[in-house]
Amino acid sequence: MPGYGQTEREIIAVLSDGKPRSLKELTEQTGLASKQIEGALYRLWKNSGILRTEKPTYEALKAFKGRAGIRKNTRAYHLYVFALGRDSINFQDMRFVKCEKRLEKPSESKAELVRSFLEENSERAFYSTEVEEALKDKGIVQRDVMSAVRRAERQGLVYVRGYRMHDRQTPFKEGYLITWIDSSKPREQALEEAIQRTEKALAQNASTSPIIERVHMIRDMVIEATKLRDLASFEFIQNKLNCTEYEAEGALKRTIQLYPDLKEAKLFNAYRYYYHASLAEEDLKAAVAMKENYVRISKGRMNRVGHNWEACVEWFIDKFTTGASFRTQSHRGNRMDPRRITLHLVKSVSGRKYNAEVDRVWEVTPGIFAQPITYVLECKWGLVRKENVNDFLDVLKWSKDFGVDTPDGRQVKQGVVGVFAGSAFNPKESVRLKDETEISLATYTARMNIQLLKASDFNEKLQERGVQNAVTVQKICRIAKDEKEVREILEEMWKTPERSEEILSKIIEKNKEIYEFEKMLEEK
């Protein structure tokens, strides 16, 4: 085969069987480099040594890219066949033709059409689907748009925007946002203007997209918090959006993709807070320290055990009080137990101006002719002192629900009984009365018409049931992860008291991670 080089001769040797092959197949069968084969194929086709398919074949491909997941793209390729002196052939519904010199160069290629459209409308940003729609009468389809846009992007002519993820960018529902970059202006200024045009396009689309509305609300909330040198918590954002946790998660993810200047700070590797990159380093450190202190107070071990103590007291009241009917109350965000009741105050009590919470409220009707009695419960984990009892009494007196004005001053209403449940009462503390006599805290509490419930009272009930002496309500409150688990443990022990120590051991093993996390909070 005179006039042909070694690469061309090897390609003709493979194609001499008359079977069509692609560039990829020829590369595999000859063992030569893809670029080398590509150049030789063009020379052969130009010199009528081979024929090529008249139209390219499009193939959808999937490729696994490790942590990035599966990538999808469309590949266009031609098939080649040995010419044997022919100008064209039909084979398996495909037409193979020789290379013909074009008498006239097309006035404008598809890539040029796309680029011209973007340049002529440089004052706007377009979704790729909008570009396709505008140029469809000229034969432009979606793959033509993005092929031209990606080449222009590499040349620095256009700005392309999508959802920003950690290691990649994905299109919006309507496609990528594309806008022209004015090369006559300083690069930084031209890029800033391009970004602003995409911002405007996103804002215009917000009314038709709930997710975009949430994205803009989140951005505003985070910027507002940053201006106040504060951090916005995930819970705060969810409450402001008034949506489900799943919806808030999705909106936050999209917001960070769209606005990489919004940052996330994860406290104790569990609690998420958000801020803008403009927050000064020293202000960020101060805000983080303040939030960490809040988390220690609100999420730490004592908070968990305190709520568990409330559930423990409630369980015993429910178990041993005939006809007890607990009140419930809906709370914002459903984050608080509905049996915890918020009272409205007519006068501030210990810094609480308008509202105060009590742990449980229930009613008991002794008989068909008797007035119902309302019991109001206050629980305290730890040592109970006189000021704790006085504070609870003041809340009852000054609440709209349970207090009343009398000639002798503000008093608790008739038929309302306060119940104070403490894990331990200070046995050494006494109360000095006006006549200089001293009485015990328990006696003083009884005089105030407040009943006392102690952990020892509940332990006595468990032991009467047959629960081992080593098992106490204090231990149950310390090991249970939440109020629901407290009730489950007590219920199971009540049914099978002989297994109480075994039940306790299983719960301790199950909740190891919780104890380790709380220990970390205390050490920070």
DSSP string, 229-257: T--EEHHHHHHHHT--HHHHHHHHHHHHH
Nearest to 294 by CA among 257, 320, 276, 267: 267
If one looks up domain 209-297 in CATH, what number appears?
1.10.10
CA-closest candidate to residue 44, choices 84, 17, 73: 84
Neighbours of 428 (CB within 10 A): 6
pLDDT at 207: 47
Q: Which H/E stretch holds residue 124?
A: none
pTM above 0.85, yes or no: no
Tell the burial category of 282 from Cβ atoms under 10 Å away from its Cβ (0-12, 13-18, 19+).
exposed
Q: What is the pLDDT of residue 114?
A: 92
d(CA 392, CA 330): 22
Cβ-proximal residues to 488 (8 Å cutoff; 6+ apart), any chain = none
The gap between the terminal CA atoms of the chain, to the nearest Å, is 81
Instruction: List, for residues 325-359, the tens digit of each pLDDT value.
Output: 888 888 765 666 788 888 999 888 877 778 888 88
Q: What are the start-end ranges of the E strands in 65-146?
A: 70-77, 79-82, 88-91, 94-97, 126-127
pLDDT score, position 307: 84
| pLDDT confidence of residue 298 | 58
Tokens of 510: 């199950």
| CA nearest to 307, candidates 329, 333, 340 | 340
C-alpha to C-alpha distance for 412 and 104, rounded to whole angstroms = 101
Domain map of the chain by residue range?
6-97, 110-207, 209-297, 301-523
Could you tell me which residues are beta bridge partners of residue 232?
A: 274
E strands, 449-491, in order = 450-454
Tell me, what amino acid is at 304? Answer: R
Domain 301-523 sits in CATH at: 3.40.1350
* Identity of residue 292: E
* Coil/strand/helix, residue 423: strand
pLDDT for the residue 103? 39
pLDDT tens by residue, the chain, 524 residues = 456 788 888 888 888 888 899 988 888 888 888 888 888 888 888 888 899 998 888 877 766 665 555 666 777 888 999 888 888 888 888 888 988 755 344 556 888 999 999 999 999 999 999 999 999 888 888 888 999 999 999 999 999 998 765 567 778 878 899 999 998 889 899 999 999 998 888 777 654 456 777 888 899 999 999 999 999 989 889 888 887 777 888 889 888 888 889 999 887 666 789 999 999 999 999 998 888 777 766 566 777 888 889 889 989 988 888 778 888 888 765 666 788 888 999 888 877 778 888 888 989 887 777 788 899 998 888 778 788 888 899 999 999 989 998 888 889 898 899 988 887 776 677 777 777 788 887 788 878 888 888 888 899 999 999 998 889 999 999 888 888 899 999 999 999 999 999 998 998 888 887 767 666 555 54
Residues 397, 410 contacting (CB under 8 angstroms): yes
CATH code given to domain 6-97: 1.10.10.10
Domains 110-207 and 301-523 share a fold: no
* Cross-strand pairs, 424: 383
What are the structure tokens assigned to 284, written together? 């960020």
Q: Report whether CATH 1.10.10.10 matches the domain 110-207.
A: yes
